[in-house]
Structure 1
Amino acid sequence: MQQEKGIQSARLLSLDALRGFDMMWIISGEIIIHALAKVSGDPVSQWMSDQLHHTPWNGFTFYDMIFPLFILIAGVSMPYSYGKKLEGKENEALKIAKRHAYRDLIKRTLILIVCGMVVNKALQFNGYEQTRFASVLGRIALSCFFAAIIFMNCGLRTQIVIFLTLLIGYWILMITVPVPGYGAGDLTKEGNLEGYFDRLFLPGKLHRVVYDPEGILSTIPAVGTAMLGVFTGQFLRREFASITPFKKSLMIGGAGVVLMGLGLLWDIVFPINKNMWTSSFVLFAGGLSLVFLFVFYLVIDVWGMKKWSMPFVWIGTNSILIYMAAHGVIDFKYTSTFLFGGMVQSLSEAWQEVWIGTGMLALQLALLYFLYKKRWFLKV
């Protein structure tokens, strides 16, 4: 039997770096890769470009992992952030600490939901019917809210039971509850229960007309994605006498491979699908996320090779800020074209796109480096 040694409280640099790596692709990385694929036409860059598009419906690409990876990383952080606030307190002191944690959690959730609506251009005031209330930031907010509530109030065994109940319960709902005109178990875009539920209850505009990929019902399994992170964070934070950090990294990688295998098995009867956030998608995307965490944790926190990861850390420590800035607040492409357009005029249009995209990334990194050095972080 493994003996617990204590609690590890130090911040993991690998989490910030992995969060930054994850975010980098959607702030400018994909633009560079798509442009390179267009200008070079070689199979490697073309494959990478293909991987930076969402799967139309069933299936999986690297781009489909970006969102669940972010949620999983947020879950990993919970045992560190909430653990420090609640551990060592009993009775009245614990109640007060939880009350403060709930207040901060509710505030964070509401702010993220509003920020998500801002990214969706809610401030353009196009009317209720043209306002999209669901959002990427809203899903992050809600999935992490419920995962945090479960973590703060339940022991590990209960957490596991809730996790399994969420995934199995969602599967049962999706295959047994009939949708008018389509029946039960129809998992097409028009006929699935999640989309029907959105058409009935999700206010405003649906992102894909007949469904919303960040809809109401699919938030249930998204909580499971956050809980996979919570389980991982508890394992990483706990020190064991017989498990070295190196062994921990291997166990995380191994768990990731197992989860991917389980996801592929479940895919046979419940397809891997990001838009419905199916239970098989939770396991497969969560497993692949853990494989990436294994690599980053091993290289950065176990082997101590940190310098190469600092640009990712600059992004990761201000991830919400740069997400909002790159998706509507700041036109980085316009700025890059204004600053560097004259320098690349002699190149072909395709190569101009490559260098304008690279300029965008350089501008974003310069801004984030400045904020990091000043220790200015958007805390939500």
Structure 2
Amino acid sequence: MRYLSIDIMRGLTVIAMILVNTPGSWDYVYAPLSHASWHGYTPTDLIFPFFLFIVGSAMCLSMSRDTGSKVLRLKKLWSRGAKIFAIGLALHFYASGFDFSSLRIMGVLQRIGLAYVLAGSLIICLDHRRAALMSIIILLAYSLMLLGSDDPYSLSGNVVAELDRYILGAAHMWQKDGVAFDPEGLLSTLPVIATIIIGYKTTYYLSVSSDRLRAVMVLLASALVMLVMGYVVASSVPINKNLWTPSYVLISGAWAIAVLAVFVLLVDVLGLQRWGRPLLWFGANPMALYVISWAWTVTYYKFSIAGQPFYDYLYACFNAMIADPYLASLLFAMAHIALFGVLARWLYRRGIFIKI
């Protein structure tokens, strides 16, 4: 059964990623559009898990149409995951000025590529029910791994950063508050498998449900239960996006299910669809638009005007017209959403769907 709401949520997630990744100035960002400094979460901290939730949703829809052998399906899965990882690495190489010595190896697309392969392999090899059980086991195992240091949930003492520094090297990692720590690190990609499988299972349930209104109620109830579980777990394991802790997996997954349930109610049950048309444009080419927007904004820094990077010059122009630096920074990001909206609409109207 086709759900237009899934495509709309996919588009909303891409727009949100562009919004929070393209402020006019990182010094002037409204609090809800900033990440939590360490523990806790803001609305912005839900955007990436929402994107991964949608990756799981898309995986469910694509796998339902795939009738090839298990070996062939695994081959296609690994090939696509490798492409996504390679594109992410190429973008970082471009951003670094083609300097390998400072190349950040992990990142958003690299994490998506790895988690896509791992979660998809579980689903293909074990079926989605056993894969869901395995994702729970992975979360439990990851919780134990985090306890492998004296200060497991701190920025400087967590085992996630220690492993990344050992394998990747500090020079190839993100720097947070002067500490080599990558929020998209290797070990912390393991619990992301659960986030993808939550998206997969949610979409599978919708696809086999004959009563959409009842499905909405079940999803909202499931989201509430998962949210409560997340806060219970948070009493011993803090909510932390950087470490992708199990409490964060449960809470972000609960919000993703709840948002999708509301969209299903509005779009697929009540038939209120016209408002979501611009979101459909973005949802038709989510990965491609994210990659293009990322490369576009990085390119700004390759040029200078009046002695400053073109990106900063553009923001200064916005700030000159709008005295409030926070509002100017927000409008700068919204202008880019409009810019890429033009591209998204053009691709959608011409039936161009870029698959990676």
TM-score, normalised by the number of residues in structure 2: 0.86
- Asked if structure 1 preserves the Cα contact closer than 8 Å seen for 2:95 and 2:298, the reply is no
Tell me the secondary structure at the aligned position of residue 209 of structure 2: strand
Tell me the secondary structure at the aligned position of residue 275 of structure 1: coil
Q: How many Å apart are 1:123 and its aligned residue?
A: 6.5
* Paired residue total: 340
Q: In structure 2, what is the equivalent of residue 375 of structure 1?
A: 351
Q: In structure 2, what is the equivalent of residue 195 of structure 1?
A: 161
Q: In structure 2, what is the equivalent of residue 56 of structure 1?
A: 37
- Asked if structure 1 preserves the Cα contact closer than 8 Å seen for 2:93 and 2:99, the reply is no
How far apart in 2 are the matches of 1:358 and 1:156? Answer: 39
Q: In structure 2, what is the equivalent of residue 274 of structure 1?
A: 241
Q: Deviations over 1:169-220 (max 9, x none)?
A: 1001112x2x4xxx3x531111111111111112551112432111110111
- Asked if structure 1 preserves the Cα contact closer than 8 Å seen for 2:88 and 2:109, the reply is yes
Change (3 A) 1:212 1:331: closer
Change (3 A) 1:354 1:239: closer
Residue identity opposite 1:229 in structure 2: G
Q: In structure 1, what is the equivalent of residue 18 of structure 2?
A: 27
Residue identity opposite 2:266 in structure 1: V
1:144 counterpart = 2:116: yes
- Asked if structure 2 preserves the Cα contact closer than 8 Å seen for 1:144 and 1:223, the reply is yes
Q: In structure 1, what is the equivalent of residue 263 of structure 2?
A: 296
Q: In structure 1, what is the equivalent of residue 335 of structure 2?
A: 359
Change (3 A) 1:188 1:238: same
CA RMSD of aligned residues (A): 2.9
- Asked if structure 2 preserves the Cα contact closer than 8 Å seen for 1:202 and 1:216, the reply is no
Gaps of at least 5 residues in structure 1 are 1-7, 39-45, 87-93
How far apart in 2 are the matches of 1:139 and 1:366? Answer: 28
How far apart in 1 are the matches of 2:24 and 2:96? Answer: 31
Alignment of 1:48-127 (within 5 A): 49-86=30-67, 94-95=68-69, 98-122=70-94, 124=96, 126-127=98-99
Q: Deviations over 1:250-293 (max 9, x none)?
A: 11121111111111111111101000001111001111111111
Q: In structure 2, what is the equivalent of residue 258 of structure 1?
A: 225
Q: How many Å apart are 1:346 and its aligned residue?
A: 6.0
Alignment of 1:33-44 (within 5 A): none
Q: How many Å apart are 1:122 and its aligned residue?
A: 4.2
How far apart in 2 are the matches of 1:136 and 1:30? Answer: 12
Change (3 A) 1:212 1:54: same
Q: How many Å apart are 1:119 and its aligned residue?
A: 2.7
Tell me the secondary structure at the aligned position of residue 154 of structure 1: helix
Change (3 A) 1:352 1:123: closer
Q: How many Å apart are 1:125 and its aligned residue?
A: 5.1
How far apart in 2 are the matches of 1:222 and 1:230? Answer: 13
Q: In structure 2, what is the equivalent of residue 3 of structure 1?
A: none
Q: Deviations over 1:31-54 (max 9, x none)?
A: 68999xx7xxxxxxx9xx211111
How far apart in 1 are the matches of 2:299 and 2:272? Answer: 31
Change (3 A) 1:103 1:129: same
How far apart in 1 are the matches of 2:283 and 2:289? Answer: 9
Tell me the secondary structure at the aligned position of residue 103 of structure 1: helix
Q: How many Å apart are 1:239 and its aligned residue?
A: 3.2
Change (3 A) 1:156 1:363: closer
How far apart in 2 are the matches of 1:352 and 1:50? Answer: 15
How far apart in 2 are the matches of 1:272 and 1:123? Answer: 31
Change (3 A) 1:126 1:356: closer
Q: Deviations over 1:14-42 (max 9, x none)?
A: 1121111112123136768999xx7xxxx
Q: Which moved more, 1:245-254 or 1:324-333?
A: 324-333
Q: How many Å apart are 1:118 and its aligned residue?
A: 2.6
Q: How many Å apart are 1:107 and its aligned residue?
A: 1.9
Q: In structure 2, what is the equivalent of residue 89 of structure 1?
A: none
Q: Deviations over 1:351-377 (max 9, x none)?
A: 665654443322211111001001112
Change (3 A) 1:52 1:345: closer
Q: In structure 2, what is the equivalent of residue 43 of structure 1?
A: none
How far apart in 2 are the matches of 1:23 and 1:260? Answer: 24
How far apart in 2 are the matches of 1:352 and 1:262? Answer: 39
TM-score, normalised by the number of residues in structure 1: 0.81
Residue identity opposite 1:224 in structure 2: A
- Asked if structure 2 preserves the Cα contact closer than 8 Å seen for 1:120 and 1:132, the reply is yes
* Percent of matched pairs sharing the same residue: 25
- Asked if structure 2 preserves the Cα contact closer than 8 Å seen for 1:326 and 1:332, the reply is no
Q: Which has the larger radius of gyration?
A: 1
Residue identity opposite 1:379 in structure 2: K
How far apart in 2 are the matches of 1:133 and 1:193? Answer: 18
- Asked if structure 1 preserves the Cα contact closer than 8 Å seen for 2:17 and 2:48, the reply is no
Q: In structure 2, what is the equivalent of residue 166 of structure 1?
A: 138
Q: In structure 2, what is the equivalent of residue 4 of structure 1?
A: none
